[in-house]
Amino acid sequence: MDFDEAASELYGVPAGDFISTRNDLAKRLKADGDALGSARLKALRKPTVAAWVANLLAREKPDELDDLLALGDELREATADLDGERLRELTPRRHQQTDVLAKAAHQLASDAGVKVSADVGQKLRETLDAALIDPAAGEAVREGRLSSALRHVGFGVVDESGDPSNVMPLTDERRQRAKERRTARSTSARAASPASAGAADAVEVEADDEAAARERAEREEAERQEEERREAERAEAQREADEAVAAAEAAESTVEELTGELASAREALEAAQDEVRRLGDAVDEARKEARAAQQTSRDARKRLNRLGRRLS
């Protein structure tokens, strides 16, 4: 077993078994002498629910998913060529195929005992849409090893936390295989409906620019929203930094103030200790004098007593 085989097996287990399976597979790789592969496997993250469902779909419906990726190739080509007629033909298929795959994923998850919430369902659809729009995202979804759902935001693909997602390019072999299946299906459909093909050829070209402009507007709007989000994040980060600087300056001022008070207190303590020593010495001297005075008093009393006895 190599790393790729271990990773594919790992992302195919139920989410609840991910950690224990990862540990077992990492031990097997290490025992086989692949310490690097073991370390790489340990670094793989547990998939979110949406990512787990997308991985399940990739394993169970690979051909259907390849068709979606091939449709994405066609949409990108039509957009680049400003082919409005082709875009009008492909756009309904985009929604149709995404709907079909989303429903299939819901059923697969249900059969596996996993409930797909509305939020998970939305993230799954965003992942499928990202796979259709971005070839690299498509390959990541097709590999079935997602740890997070994906989302296309106009300038690229991000994960569920909004951070850029690292994905590998779509292989030419897989892209070509899916395109060939779609071409064969499209040719069969047109051969069966020549009247429909003729009607499509007669559509006015004047809507080409409108469709392309709509696509550009969608991208620009997505980019604008993402820029606003990032600007808000930068502003929030700047505010937090300013507050942190202010707090640090206030703390430094407090430290300086307390340091001065501590120095004064130490000086006062030293003076008090000197006074205590002086008073202690004075008390000791006074006690000596008191003892001497008591002794003198006793001696005087004795002499007085002796004189009294003599006179009597």
Give the pLDDT of residue 180. Answer: 65
Give the pLDDT of residue 249. Answer: 61
Cβ atoms of residues 95 and 43 within 8 Å: no
Give the pLDDT of residue 152. Answer: 86
Token output for 11: 């992302």
Distance, CA of 298 to chain centre: 94
**84 contacts: CB under 8 Å, gap ≥ 6:** 205, 207, 208, 209, 210, 211, 212
6: left (phi over 0), alpha (psi -120 to 50) or beta: alpha
Give the pLDDT of residue 205. Answer: 41
Secondary structure (3-state) at 48:
coil
Euclidean distance between CA atoms 253 and 126, whole angstroms: 51
Residues 124-147 pLDDT 10s: 999 999 999 998 899 999 999 999
Half-sphere exposure of residue 192: CA atoms within 13 angstroms, side-chain side: 6
Give the pLDDT of residue 172. Answer: 60
Could you state, in chain order, the average pLDDT of each consecutive group of 10 residues for the chain (312 residues)?
Answer: 92 93 95 93 94 95 92 89 88 92 95 93 94 90 93 73 62 59 59 51 47 62 67 66 60 68 78 83 85 87 83 76
Nearest 5°: the CA angle 54, 55, 60 is: 100
Give the pLDDT of residue 191. Answer: 64
Cβ atoms of residues 25 and 59 within 8 Å: no
Give the pLDDT of residue 269. Answer: 80
Look up the pTM and report it: 0.55
Give the residue from 79, 67, 128, 80 showing the smallest Cα distance to 103. Answer: 128
Give the pLDDT of residue 304. Answer: 82
Helix (H) or strand (E) holding 158: strand 157-158
Give the pLDDT of residue 184. Answer: 63
